[in-house]
Structure 1
Amino acid sequence: MNRLLSTWLIAAVTLALFIWAVSLLHWDRPSPRQRASSPEKATCPQTLATSTTINDLQTIPQDIGPFAAVFKQTMRADEQRQAARQFHQQYFTPWTTTAPLFETTTVAEGVRQLAAQTWYGENRLIVEPTRMQHLLALADLERFPSMNQLGIAIKPSFIRILPTMRPFYETPDDVPFDHLQFAEIKPNEPVRLLHATTDGAWLYIETSYANGWVDPEAIRLVDESVRNRLANAPQLVVVRDYSSIQTTQSKILPQPKIGTLYPLVKEEADHWLVDVAVVGDDQHATLATARIAKNDARRHPLPLNSENVTLIGNELLKTDYGWGELYRNRDCSATTRDFFLAFGIWLPRNSYKQITSGPFVPLAGLSTSDKELRIREQGIPFRTLLHHKGHIMLYVGLHNSKPVILHTAWGLAYRPTNCPEQKFIIGRTIVSTLEAGKELSLSKGTTLDRLDGMLLLPVPDKEHAQRNQPSAAGVK
C-alpha cells in the first residue's frame, strides 16, 4: 500500500510540475477568451492590410496604351531639339563646370543638423550617439571638400546621405523609409569627386541631380579622351529595366535600368554595339564595347509619341516602390525623372525640386472641381507634372472625364470607424485618378484635395539656371 501511495504521489507531483512549466511558456499570450474580447483586434483591420483593393485599381486600366491612343499633342521637332540640347548640357555638367554644382558650404551644416536629430536603426532602437559621432568623424567634414576630380560610374550604386549602408528611420516602425537613402546612380553617368572618408571606404560625389556618399568601387576617374567620346557620340537609352548587356568578350555587365545612356558604336541586325565604362589597367575608366538587344534600347532621345509613351509607361508600371530607389526600385520622383529622361527632358531628383524647376500653375486654394477643370484645360498628357507636398505624378489623360495619373506610391492613410489610423499599402507604380481610395475614410483627404500645382514640360531653357541645393534626408 505504501509503495502504491508513493507511486501515486510521484505521478501527481510530476503532472503538476508539467502543467506549471507549460503555463510559463504561455504567460505572455492572452487566452482565447481574452483575444476574442479585445474590440480593437476583433473589429479593426490589420495595419498595412493588403487583402482588399481600392476601386481605382479595379476600374482604371493599369495600362498606358488606352491613354496614349488618344494622345494628340506631342512636342514639335524644334521643341524636342531644344529640350535635347538642354538635357545634354545638364547631364554633363559634372564634367563641364569648374566648380561644384551644389552649395558645399551648406553640406557640412546639413549633415550636422541631421546628426543632431533622433533616428532609429534597423533594430528599431534609437541610434546611439557614439555611432553618430563615429560617422561624423569618418566624414571628416572639417576638410570638406578635399578634392575636385572628374569621374564616371562603372556600375549602379546608391547615393547615401551619410557614409553607411545602415538605415536611419524617423520612428521604430518607419520601414522602408531609410532617410539616408537618396538615389541610385546609373552606369556611365558623369560624376565629380569631392571628398572621401578618413578610411577611404566611401567617396562623396555629385551628379547633375544628386550628391552624397557612394561605394568607391562604383566610381573611376576619367580622362579627357573618354569624356569627349561619351559627350560627343550619338546616344542610346535603355528602355527596359534590368536589360542584359555584355562585352564583345562575353563579360556580363551590371544590368541597367530605364534611362541609362550608352554611346552608340554600331548597329547590328538584332543588337546595338555601345561603349561602356569599365575599369582599365591603370584603375581609371576605359571604354569597352558591349552588346545590348535592340528590344532593350533605342536611339536617344525617343520621340514623344503614342508608341513610345506606351513603351516607357508600361515598363515603369512594373516597378515596385523603393524610397530613394532602395532595392533598385523607384519612388515617385525617380519614376517621373526616368520617364522624361528617355525623351531627352532633364529633371532634378526629388518632388519639390521637380515641381519648382520651372513656372508651374498654382492649384492650391482652388476647389476640387476647379482643380480638375484647370488640369483639363491647361494640362497636356505625358508632358505635365502634378504635385502635392511630398508626392509628384505624371498626368496621362482622362477616364470618364476625370484626370488620371501615373505615379509610384507607398500607401494611403485611412481611419476606419472606432479604429486607429491604418495604412492601405499600394507599394508600386499605378495608374489612378486623383481620388484613389476615396471610398476609404482617408485621414489626409484625397490627392485632389491636397493638389497644389502643375508644371508643363519641357521647361524653358532659362529656368534650368537655378543653383542646386545639397541633398538631405527628407521627402522624395
Structure 2
Amino acid sequence: MPNLSRIVLGVALTLGSAHALAAAPTLPVPASGVIGTQDAMFSPDYWIARAPAPDKVIFSREELKALNARTFANDPSMYVLANIPAQISAGQVKAWIAKVSKMPAKPLLDVHNQPLPKSVVDPIVASIALEKIPEHVTARYGISVARQSLRTFPTDLKAFTVPDQPDFESLQESMLFPGDPVVIVHESEDGQWYFVVSPRYAAWVNKSAIAVGSRDEVLNYADKTPYRVVTGAKVRTVFTPEAPAVSELQLDMGARVPLADLPPDEPVNGQGPYVSWTLQLPVRAQDGSLHFQPALLQRNADSEPDYVPLTQANVIRQAFKFLGERYGWGHLYNGRDCSGFVSDVYRSLGVQMPRNTGDQAKSPELAHRLFTAADSHEARMKAIAQAQVGDLIYIPGHVMMFLGRVNGEPYVIQDVGGVIYLDAQGHKHWTRTNEVSVTPLLPLLIDEKLSYVDAMTSLVRIRP
C-alpha cells in the first residue's frame, strides 16, 4: 500500500516540535506487558455493556446505500467499474500503473536480509512493459476466483526494506477475494500477470486467479440476489472432491456471495444441500474463461442474508471476531493489517471504505476531523473525550477503532505490531503484539517523544 508509511512501532515520526509528549496515565501492567488490560476486556460483552446506545441503528439500509454511492462517486481511491469506458486511453492506464508500480526509496532485501541485486530488481521493473500499451486499451472484465495478492509489480518475489520484519513485505499492496470484479487493462511482459482495477484498488494480480468473462456477466454477478454475507472472520465452503476449485474455499468477513438457483432436493457436488446454503461461485476454466459452480456453505457457518445492522453493539461484536488474529500487511499470511481490519469490519456492516489508512482518514464522504501540527494537545484530548464507539483514530500509517472508556480511560481495538509506553518510573517499555489487540489509548507512544494522541491526524466517525 504505497501511501502508507509502513509504520513499525518504535520508528520515530517527524511531525514538528509543536507536539510534546503528554504525561502517561498510571495504569497497571499485567504479565502480558500490554498496559492497562485484563482478561475481562477480551469479551465483546464487556464493551457492549459500556456503550451508551448499543442497539440503536446508526444507518438504515437505504442510508447506507446512499453513503456508499456517494463514496464511490467522490472518493478518488475508489472505482465504479461500470463507469470505466470500453476504450481506455494509454495515458490513463499508465497513470494507474505509475501510481502503484514504484520501487521503495530504501534498498530491497530478500528473506535472508541480503540486498537484492540489480540483476534481480531491474527485470521486475521492466516486466510492467509500459511500451506495449496501445494508444487505446480495450477493457476486459474478470472475477477473482481465490484470495489472491495484489502486488506492486508483477512478481511473487518477497522483498523487504527493514531487516527481520517478515510481516511487512514491501511489494504487497492488497488482496482480492473470491467474487471480486475487476477490469483488466494490461498484461506483464511474460503474460502471467494482469494489471487490474478493482472497486477499491488497482494493482498487479497473477492471472491464474482471474476468470475472464463478459462485461454483463462480471458486473451482474456482484448485484445478483438473493445472497449471503459472510459475518465471521473467515468461513470455508464444504469439502468436495467433485469440484476442487470451490472445495473448502475461504471467504472473509464482508464477502457478499449470491445463492445458486437450484432445486432444494438436488445434490450439490455429491452432497444434499438442505442443511447448507448453496452458493454460486466463480471458477476459472483451463482457457481462463469465467464459469460458475455451486458450492455449499454450512448453515452453522457465520453468515447472514444481508449485512449486519450498523449498531454500536454489532461494531464491537464484528471487531472482536478478529481478536488475536496475526497481523498481515496487505492481508498477507491469511490475515489483514490495520486498515484491512477496520474496513472488513465495516464492510460486514454494509459500509464500503477505501483500502488504505491515508485514503480512509480523508475520504470526502466519511465524517472526519483532521488534525495538523497547529492543533494543541488540549484540542486533541477534547476530540478523544468526545469519541464514540466505532470511531476510527488515525496516526500516520495506522488506524485504531474506539471501543469505550474504563474509569474515564479511552480504549481501542487495533491490528498492531506492538505497544510502547512509559511505566510509572518513566522507563520505556515495548511489548510485541503483532495481532488484533485491545489496548488503552493515552499511554501509547510512537517513540520517546511522541504519543499516539499527539500524532493523531484524523478522527473518522461513521455516522449520518
Does structure 2 conserve the Cα–Cα contact (< 8 Å) formed by 1:168 and 1:179? yes
Matched AA of 2:284: V
SS of match in other structure, 1:55:
coil
| Distance in 1 separating the partners of 2:237 and 2:430 | 39
Taking the TM superposition and a 5 Å limit, the aligned residue runs for 1:259-298 are 259-265=254-260, 270-280=275-285, 283-294=288-299, 295-298=301-304
Structure 1 residues not aligned, in runs of 5+: 1-49, 461-476
Question: CA 1:421 to 1:380, structure 2 compared with 1: closer, same or farther past 3 Å?
Answer: closer
Amino acid at match of 1:163: P
- In the alignment, which of 42, 67, 75 is matched to residue 47 of structure 2? 67
Counterpart residue identity of residue 61, structure 1: M
Residue 70 of structure 1: how far off its partner (Å)? 4.0
Note closer, same or farther for the CA distance 1:190–1:74 as it changes in structure 2 (3 Å cut): farther
1:98 to 58, 64, 85: 85
Q: What is the CA-CA distance between 1:191 and the residue it aligns to?
A: 0.8
Give deviations 1:283-326, integer Å, cap 9, x for gaps: 42122222212332112221123553343122111321111111
Asked if structure 1 preserves the Cα contact closer than 8 Å seen for 2:167 and 2:329, the reply is yes
For 2:392, which of 378, 385, 394 is the aligned residue?
385
User: 1: distance between equivalents of 2:100 and 2:287?
Assistant: 34
What residue identity is the alignment partner of 1:433?
Answer: P
Aligned-residue offset at 1:234: 3.3
**RMSD, aligned CA:** 3.4
Shift of 1:356: 0.7
C-alpha distance in structure 2 between counterparts of 1:110 and 1:56, whole Å: 41
Q: Who is 2:153 aligned against?
A: 162
Q: Deviations over 1:348-374 (max 9, x none)?
A: 111111011134213445455543432
Residue 369 of structure 2 is aligned to residue 361 of structure 1: yes
Amino acid at match of 1:258: M
Which one of 391, 396, 408 corresponds to residue 401 of structure 1?
408
Which of 377, 380, 400 does residue 371 from structure 1 map onto? Answer: 380
Q: Match of 2:450, SS?
A: coil
Q: Distance in 2 between matches of 1:455 and 1:216?
A: 36
* Bigger radius of gyration: 1
Picking from 223, 230, 250, the partner of 1:255 is: 250
User: CA separation of 1:309/1:144 partners in 2, compared to 1, >3 Å: closer, same or farther?
Assistant: same
Separation (CA, whole Å) in 1 of partners of 2:394 and 2:328: 19
1:379-419 per-position Cα deviation (integer Å, ceiling 9, x unaligned): 3312x211111111111222222222121001235799xxx
User: Following the alignment from structure 1 to structure 2, what is the Cα–Cα distance between the partners of residues 160 and 391?
Assistant: 20
1:456–1:178 CA distance, 2 compared to 1 (3 A): same
1:92 CA displacement: 8.0
CA contact (8 A) 1:181 1:324 kept: yes
1:312-391 equivalence runs, <5 A: 312-358=318-364, 359-364=367-372, 365-368=374-377, 370-377=379-386, 379-382=387-390, 384-391=391-398
**Structure with the higher helix share, 1 or 2:** 1
The one-letter code of the counterpart of 2:37 is L
Please say if residues 54 and 312 of structure 2, whose CA atoms lie closer than 8 Å, have aligned partners that are also in contact.
no
Letter in 2 for 1:275: Q
CA contact (8 A) 2:231 2:308 kept: no
Q: Does 1:221 align with 2:201?
A: no
Greater alpha carbon shift after TM alignment, 222-231 vs 342-351 = 222-231
Identity %: 21
Q: Give SS of 2:131's match.
A: helix
The residue aligned with 1:180 is 171
The equivalent of 2:63 in structure 1 is 82
Task: For 1:429, give the aligned amino acid.
Answer: V
Q: Aligned partners of 1:414, 1:166: CA distance in 2, in Å?
A: 36
1:451 Cα offset (Å) = 1.7
> What's the CA shift for 1:74?
6.2
CA distance in 2, matches of 1:373, 1:302: 31
Cα gap change, 1:137/1:308 in structure 2, threshold over 3 Å: closer, same or farther? same
Q: Which amino acid aligns with 1:98?
A: P
- Following superposition, the deviation at residue 51 of structure 1 comes to 8.3
1:199 aligns to 2:190 (yes or no): yes
Alignment-derived partner of residue 10 in structure 1: none
Cα distance change, pair 109–442 in 1 and its aligned pair in 2 (3 A): closer
Query: Measured at CA, do residues 230 and 422 of structure 1 come closer, stay the same or move farther in structure 2, by a change above 3 Å?
Result: same
**Is the counterpart of residue 447 in structure 1 residue 441 in structure 2?**
no
Q: CA deviation at 1:171?
A: 3.1
- Kept in 1, the 8 Å contact 2:208–2:288? The answer is no
Aligned counterparts of 1:254 and 1:154: Cα–Cα separation in 2: 9
> 1:166, 1:231 → 2: CA distance?
35
The corresponding residue for 2:75 is none
Distance 1:308 1:412, change over 3 A: closer
Name the stretch that deviates more: 386-395 or 218-227.
218-227
Range with greater deviation from structure 2 (353-362 or 274-283): 274-283
Q: Alignment partner of 1:430: what SS?
A: strand
**Closer/same/farther in 2, CA of residues 51 and 325 from structure 1, 3 Å limit:** farther
Identify the structure with the greater strand proportion: 2
Judge which range, 162-171 or 278-287, deviates more: 278-287
Please give the secondary structure, in 1, of the residue aligned with 2:36.
helix
Question: Residue 442 of structure 2 aligns with which residue?
Answer: 435
- 1:233 aligns with 225
C-alpha separation in 1, matches of 2:231 and 2:100 = 36
Partner of 1:45: none
Cα distance, 1:139–1:225 mapped onto 2, change above 3 Å:
closer
SS at match of 1:256: strand
SS in 1 for 2:157: coil
Q: Letter of the 1:66 partner, please give it.
A: Y
Aligned mates of 1:164, 1:421 — CA distance in 2? 40
Change (3 A) 1:112 1:125: same
SS of residue paired to 1:455: strand
